[in-house]
Chains A and B, each alone.
Chain A
Amino acid sequence: MNARRLIVVSVLLFLFFLGIYTWNERTNKLDAISTNVGIEVVGFFVRSVVYVQTTISDFWNNYVSLVSVNEENEELKEELFQIKRELSFAKEEKAELDRLRKLLSIEYVSDWKTVGVRILAWRLGANDFFDSFVLSKGFFSGSKVGTPIINADGLVGRVLKAGPYTSIALLLTDSGSSVSVITEKGRVSGIVQGNGHNQYLSMRFVKQNEEVKIGELVITSGLDLSFPKGIPVGEVVSVELSANSMLDIKVKPLVVFDKLEEVLLLQNPFEHILPEGSPVYSPRPNNLFSPMQSPLLVRAEENENFEKAFDEQANKSANGAN
């Protein structure tokens, strides 16, 4: 290949790239094709690896490593007894709650179906820049884009991309993840956003006169139509006054993401009649990372200047009147 031909090929490749990039921006067809092919090829391979790994580890755990099983069994029996007791109280409370709801005619959606899913792999490859993991179920098993993911501790995230038998989930801690929440006791609403792996979440858009206490539980509000109401998200660890007349609240997620192995998908029973929920990845404004550029701050400064000018004018008028 001579130099002239190389330049022509380079230009053609670049033009081809621009063409398919803009076409895909409008239609998402290439994303769909690559998702169905790429995720499934990788899913098939990783599933096989996980199967072999699980078989070996099960053999080891069930037949070889049986030390201290009796002790663990006793502990579990004790724990089961306590849980049974708590469950009986909870059943009573649930029955009372149902009666009260019926009495007050409050509609409550509690029919979200759960599907268990195994985590196949964490971030894969050089083209994955989000906090994400690969799940062992795809859209044939109810893992659609936007499906909420939980575990026993609380909210984990949402499905970002779904192939036929494998999907990719976006974690709650990713910077593009946002959830509408409410505090459990104070009923203060806000938006929880991720700040990256192993970082606390930020609860935003809470006015400074709202009462939020450290240690308070934050749960999903259900207002964004993406999550059912009442899933535990995290615990408030700090409340500070930020520069833009809002509270700067840090929330510690309840889920230990590094130790996740299986999760549950929550399927919305009324998906076909509800309007679409919020997008899975929410781009954050650039000024979020440089607070001095925030339009809210600019507005606050403008208000401050206006108030100063107003006060000066008022003082002058008062002096003139005196």
Chain B
Amino acid sequence: MKVLNVFWWLAYVCIAIFLQLFISGVDFFLPGIIVALQEKKITQFGVVFLLFVLIQEGIGTMPFGNVFLWYSLAIIFFYSWRWFFEIESFTFILLLSAALAVSHYFIISVLAEIQDIYINYKSLQDESVYQMFLTPIMWHTANYLRRGFRYVPQD
């Protein structure tokens, strides 16, 4: 089962990279972070978090930090809002992705200012909007496949 789990996450990484090839500016690893958070397995979440941060920071052009901060905000939002919503509900994911899209805009704006990097705010704004709408779709698909995966009977 553990091996299958590893393969599931590797397949997720491949699909996320593949989607990022075609839709630039959108983070398809974020829904995976949310899925890992929902499963409440600390080791699995730690490995997934570390791997996703290293991949996204590695292929990014800004200095290390913004993806780590953004995913950390995802953890904080997730744990603070789960008192008010059912964590597997679509409303919760919609609100979470909207909050994360807005925070993405602010994190990048602030860090770009600190690092003296010129960025195109219009495209950042557009990409944050795409992120807001694409995160729930990707999460829904991943969550669905993950559920099916969970119920595979063990030999």
Contact = CB atoms under 8 A, between A and B. Distances in A.
A192 interface: no
B117 interface: yes
Nearest to A48: B14
B59 A38 contact: yes
Interface stretch (B23-31, B85-93, B136-144): B23-31
A124 B116 CA distance: 21
Interface stretch (A23-31, A245-253, A259-267): A23-31
B112 interface: yes
B4 interface: no
Given A20-B68, A46-B17, A46-B21, A37 B54 contact: yes
A30 B64 contact: yes
Interface in B19-70: 20-21, 24-27, 53-69
Interface of A: 1, 3, 6, 9-10, 13-14, 17, 20-21, 24-25, 30-31, 33-42, 45-46, 49, 121-130, 132, 134, 160-161, 163, 168, 170, 175-176, 196, 281, 283-284
A13 B72 contact: yes
Given A6-B80, A127-B62, A196-B120, A45 B104 contact: no
Contact of A38 (B24, B57, B76, B119): B57
B124 interface: yes
A123 B67 CA distance: 16
Contacts of B18: 45, 49
B67 A127 contact: yes
A127 B60 contact: yes
A284 B131 CA distance: 28
A161 B54 contact: no
Nearest to B56: A127
A9 B76 CA distance: 8
A36 B117 CA distance: 23
A126 B58 CA distance: 12
Contacts of B56: 38, 125-127
Contact of A122 (B24, B119, B120, B127): B24
A70 B106 CA distance: 57
